[in-house]
Amino acid sequence: MTAARVEMIRQRLTAALAPDHLTIIDDSHKHAGHAGAQAGGGHFAVTLVAGAFAGQGLLARHRMVYDALGPAMHTDIHALSIRAYTPDEFTTSTKE
């Protein structure tokens, strides 16, 4: 199930934002016993680099990611950490 969720996240973010770079980390194992985990939702961290973020503030970028993931944010994903960069920001920031 976890691999399927990661792939679903990858497909949706790729289709919506065409990222130059995308990393998805499943941190669900760190939250075993947590209420969200008990309900079946996973904990994920994503790092995206996309031209679509140019000119967008942090809140707008997060909304773009949430919109791309759609209903999965209410079913498959309990918590999501987002690091969203433009290509220029990523080349000048500390890379993963």
- What value does the mean pLDDT take over residues 48-53? 97
Strand blocks (E) in the chain: 21-26, 42-49, 77-85
Contact 53, 86 (CB under 8 A): yes
Q: How many domains does the chain have?
A: 1
DSSP label of 20: S
Give the domain extent around 31. 2-92
DSSP label of 82: E
More reliable by pLDDT, 37 or 15:
15
Q: How confident is the model at residue 96 (pLDDT cuts 50, 70, 90)?
A: low
Q: Model's pTM, two decimal places? A: 0.86
CATH code for position 87: 3.30.300.90
Residue 79: exposed, middle, or buried by beta-carbon count in 10 A (0-12, 13-18, 19+)? middle
Rounded to whole angstroms, the Cα distance separating 91 from 70 reads 29
- What value does the mean pLDDT take over residues 3-11? 94
More reliable by pLDDT, 76 or 82:
82
- What value does the mean pLDDT take over residues 34-43? 63
